[in-house]
Amino acid sequence: MASYPQDQPREYHRDLSNWWWLGRFNYLKFILREFSSVFVAYFLIVTLAQVCALTRGPAAYAAFRAHMQHPLVILLNIVALAFLVLHTITWSKLVPKAFFPRSHGHPLPEMTTALPSYIIWAVATIVVAAIILGA
């Protein structure tokens, strides 16, 4: 039986540039949204460093605060805050949508499904801010 290598199924391979995520605004938004996780990890580490400094006494905590006052650190934190806000808004829009029942076969409007999440975010922010400021 003759074989016909040209008829063998070949793996479909699409050429994709390493810069595919710059191709469309939606791709860029996707990548920015996903990379918010880097800033989540970053500020968790900062928070651990803060508590670590607290356990080591007033001098260590003063050094931590001096580090946080460096202009580049403040700039980094402003960028981190922007990414976190992007994360919380997109997460609130995306995840609850999956848990809400559909009304008459149609998904509920995004504002309705995201609203409870925004309210929880606002309450959590006010409570934590009150504790931080009242410290």
Partner 1 sequence: MARRANEPAVWFLFGTGGFVAGYLLPVHILFYGILFPLGIFKDPGYQATLTVFEHPLARLYLVVLCFFGFFHAAHRLRLTLVDFLRVKHLENVLGLILYSGAAIGTLFAIYLASVV
Min dist CB 110 to partner 1, Å, is 16
One residue of 22, 31, 63, 115 binding partner 1 per CB under 8 A:
31
Min dist CB 100 to partner 1, Å, is 15
DSSP states along 61-128: HHHHHHHHTSHHHHHHHHHHHHHHHHHHHHHHHHTGGGTSPPBTTBPPPHHHHHHHHHHHHHHHHHHH
Q: How far apart are CA 74 and CA 134, in angstroms?
A: 23
Binding mask 73-112 for partner 1 (x = CB under 8 A): xx--xx-xx--xx-xx--xx--x-----------------
User: Judged by CB, which is closer to partner 1: 103, or 130?
Assistant: 130
Q: How far apart are CA 73 and CA 6, in angstroms?
A: 59
Angle between helices 58-68 and 71-94 (to 10 degrees): 80
Q: In this structure, what token pair is assigned to residue 107?
A: 């998904």
132 binds partner 1 (CB under 8 A): yes
Min dist CB 35 to partner 1, Å, is 6
Q: Which residues bind partner 1 (CB under 8 A)?
A: 16, 18, 21, 31, 34-35, 37-38, 40-41, 43-48, 50-52, 54-55, 58, 61-62, 65, 68-69, 73-74, 77-78, 80-81, 84-85, 87-88, 91-92, 95, 117, 120-121, 124-125, 128-129, 131-135
